Structure formats: C-alpha cells, structure tokens
C-alpha cells in the first residue's frame, strides 16, 4: 500500500468521489486520486459480475487486493490478475458516466487503476494489451 501511495500520491489528490454504498450488499466503492477502491464487507456473499460506475474511460486493472495469499487471503481473485476490466463507455452506473463488471469476493478490498494512469508507471506490470486496440490506443498517445 505504501508503494502504491508513492506511485499515485493518492492522499495528495483532490479527486474524491463515493460512487456506491449498499447496506444490503455491504459494499462501498469510491474513487480517490487516480484509483478505484472497492470494499465488500459482507461476511458470506461474493458478487459475480458486480456492475460498478467509474469516471474513467480506459480499461482498469487490479493493483492489489486483500484476498491475495501474501495478505492471508483465499486467492479467489487469482483469475482477475493479468487482465483488463473493460469499461462500458457511456453506460452510466452509480452517478458515474461509465461502468465495468468485476467479481468481488466476500470480506475483500480491491484497488484498481485505469490504464491511462497505470501505464505512466514502468514499475507496474501491466496485463497484456494491443497498442492498436481502440480501447488503449487513445491513451498511449497521451503518454509520449
């Protein structure tokens, strides 16, 4: 988490938006700086294809998550690493202009970075992507 803070300076950013709180699902989702934070506090319910809102247009990747074995987790998101969560541009959800779906295990926190920000940091191992894919190409031009 400290490494993430060094890269993204989350605490110094003004951008902060709570996009989703759900008492029944026991979920909280918010944006802080350039990242999306997802918390599932439900003791037993995991959610497959949970639709969440996001401000950003570019695909998102998992930076880290508490279900990882290095945090003593059950590794239920192992299939979610090394992949991009593609954004449904213009499909509004939770007062955000775009949305994406993700598996959210019970008792878990997930931190995601949109491609346009993750790609700025050579220290981050990005999932594979095609530079000509229109989901990524517009953001690569901004990195040069």
Predicted pLDDT of residue 78: 80
Q: Which comes out higher in pLDDT, residue 3 or 84?
A: 84
Task: Share the mean pLDDT of the chain.
Answer: 90
The domain that holds 81 is classified in CATH as 2.60.40.1180
CA distance 96 to 90: 9
Residue 45 has pLDDT above 80, yes or no: yes
Which residues constitute the domain of residue 86?
2-141
Structural domains of the chain, count: 1
Quickly count: other Cβ atoms within 10 Å of residue 33's Cβ.
19
Structure tokens at 101: 């779906």
Rounded-to-integer distance, Cα 20 and Cα 93, Å: 9
- pTM of the complete model: 0.91
Average of per-residue pLDDT across 116-139: 93
pLDDT tens by residue, 70-124: 777 777 778 788 899 999 999 999 999 999 999 999 999 999 999 999 999 999 9
Residue with tokens 């506090």: 41
The pLDDT tens digits for 54-68 are 999 999 999 988 888
CA distance 28 to 25: 9
What is the predicted pLDDT for the residue at 106?
94
């Amino acid at each position: 988490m400290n490494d993430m803070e060094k890269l993204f300076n989350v605490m110094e950013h003004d951008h902060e938006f709570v996009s989703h709180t759900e008492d029944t699902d026991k979920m909280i989702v918010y944006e802080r700086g350039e990242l999306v934070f997802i918390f599932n506090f439900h003791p037993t319910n995991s959610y497959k294809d949970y639709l969440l809102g996001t401000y950003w247009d570019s695909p998102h990747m998992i930076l880290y998550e508490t279900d990882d074995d290095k945090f003593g987790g059950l590794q239920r998101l192992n299939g979610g690493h090394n992949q991009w969560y593609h954004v449904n541009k213009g499909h509004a959800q939770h007062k955000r202009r775009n949305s994406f779906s993700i598996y959210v295990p019970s008792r878990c926190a997930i931190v995601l970075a949109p491609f346009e920000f993750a790609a700025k940091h050579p220290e981050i191992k990005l999932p594979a992507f095609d530079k000509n894919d229109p989901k990524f190409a517009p953001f690569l031009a901004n990195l040069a």
